[in-house]
Structure 1
Amino acid sequence: MINICLCDDDLNYLNYYSTKINELADIYHIPIMMETYTSGESLTFELEDNPNRIDIVIIDIIMKKLNGIEAGQLLRKFGYTGIIIFLTSSKEYALDSFSVEPFNYLIKDLRDEEQLKGTFLRAMMEVEKKRKKSIMISSKQTNKLIKLDNILYIESIGKKVILYNLSGEKEELNTTLNSLAEKINEYGFIRCHKSYIVNTTYISSFNKSECSLKQGITIPIGRKYSSTFKENYLKNELDHILL
């Protein structure tokens, strides 16, 4: 099941896109669950505690009080890592929405069904790809499936490896940082220190000695890794764009 939120304060557009998206889901046999909201305030209030229960947010940019870009920024602040698609009457807001990292824009006035279909199908593929972003960690005691999207960074303390996620929770694994690094390197994780691995999705800035994550956490960059960190980060970003 793919969970979608649709938010627009114009009921005509809300009904139009709700109907068309459900029609596309039926045509392509994609199970979806849709929630609709008529304000950015109601959407962000509902998702504040658990934003990642939703896979795709489709939201109008121009709304009263809290507009779509502001709502998107709040969702990212809450830790939302899913897809955001903006509904807009003009692409003039594209630069303003950069911080939200939108997946695409749908031009409302055109009601372009081909554009909607293409965006919908690409978004479905992206959701499925994200859901496969997990690894199995095996030990003598147990096998554990680890979902990687919500992991901020990983730390090695003694003989334990600790995963820190977006909600501030942590999980201990019986493995080594070296073996884990090999498994998750292809998913956008970079070794920055003998004791740390960071998720590039959440990097806001870095210099030669430390890396700042979007959640206000600072991770040290070891001298051994300093020269390759920038190279690996840029390579990962380029690979992501090309995909």
Structure 2
Amino acid sequence: MLKIAFCDDENQETRRLEALLEEYAADRGQDFAHTSYQSPVELMAEVEKGTRFDIILLDVLMPGENGMAAAREIREYDSNVKIIFLTSSSEFAVESYAVDAWYYQLKPIRREDFFRLMDSACAACTREQKHSLILRSKSGIVRLELEELVYCEVMGRTLTFHLNNGVVLE
């Protein structure tokens, strides 16, 4: 189950994102755990406590600390979280690259844009959760999912991987 955080100072926008997520979850048959925050300070307090999120949808323009500053601080604790900026201003789009943002989306976000962003971010999170190796074999460079590996053997200087589908990589 992916953990998602929404951070926006506007209650109406947060409720809209929650409704879109519920609709997305029902449409895709997935479960999500989500938490909403009214300020970056609240979000950062959770991150500093060790709470880990897979995806954060973060407004940039908020009173006090803005979303961009919060993202910089989040990166000190978590380099893998997918940060998606949702904002009414294109002013910080270039700066979002500096914090390795997953995406920068202007408000109001449409249903199809939200679904596309979530499809992309969820797919990336799923890939990262799988354990795999990238190997050079006789057939070229291959990604080997560890769940598929039955056993490996070493004969001389050759390493052979036997997979559960009968494929043998040398």
The TM-score range, normalised by the shorter chain, is: 0.7 to 0.9
Would you identify which runs of 4 or more consecutive aligned residues in structure 1 move more than 4 Å? none
What is the SS of the residue equivalent to 1:115?
A: helix
Q: Distance in 2 between matches of 1:134 and 1:11?
A: 41
One-letter identity of the residue aligned with 1:118: R
Identity in percent: 28
Is the contact between residue 14 and residue 36 of structure 1 (CA under 8 Å) also seen in structure 2? yes
What is the SS of the residue equivalent to 1:9?
A: coil
Uncovered stretches (5+) of structure 2, i.e. residues with no partner: 134-145, 147-170
Shift of 1:134: 4.7
Shift of 1:97: 1.7
The alpha-carbon distance between structure 1 residues 134 and 54, as it changes in their structure 2 partners (threshold 3 A), is farther
Q: Distance in 2 between matches of 1:69 and 1:50?
A: 20
What is the SS of the residue equivalent to 1:61?
A: coil
The alpha-carbon distance between structure 1 residues 131 and 11, as it changes in their structure 2 partners (threshold 3 A), is same
Q: Distance in 2 between matches of 1:25 and 1:129?
A: 19
Shift of 1:21: 1.1
Uncovered stretches (5+) of structure 1, i.e. residues with no partner: 136-145, 147-243
1:58: which partner in 2?
57
Q: In angstroms, what is the RMSD of aligned CA positions?
A: 1.6
Shift of 1:23: 0.9
2:167: which partner in 1?
none
**Aligned pairs, number:** 134
TM-score, scaled to structure 1: 0.52
Equivalent of 1:132, from 130, 139, 153? 130
1:116: which partner in 2?
114
Shift of 1:117: 0.9
How far does the alpha carbon of each residue in 1:49-108 deviate from its partner, in whole angstroms, 9 at most, with x for none? 325x21001110001111111111000012342100001113221112222111112221
TM-score, scaled to structure 2: 0.74
2:86: which partner in 1?
87
2:7: which partner in 1?
7
Shift of 1:32: 0.4
1:223: which partner in 2?
none
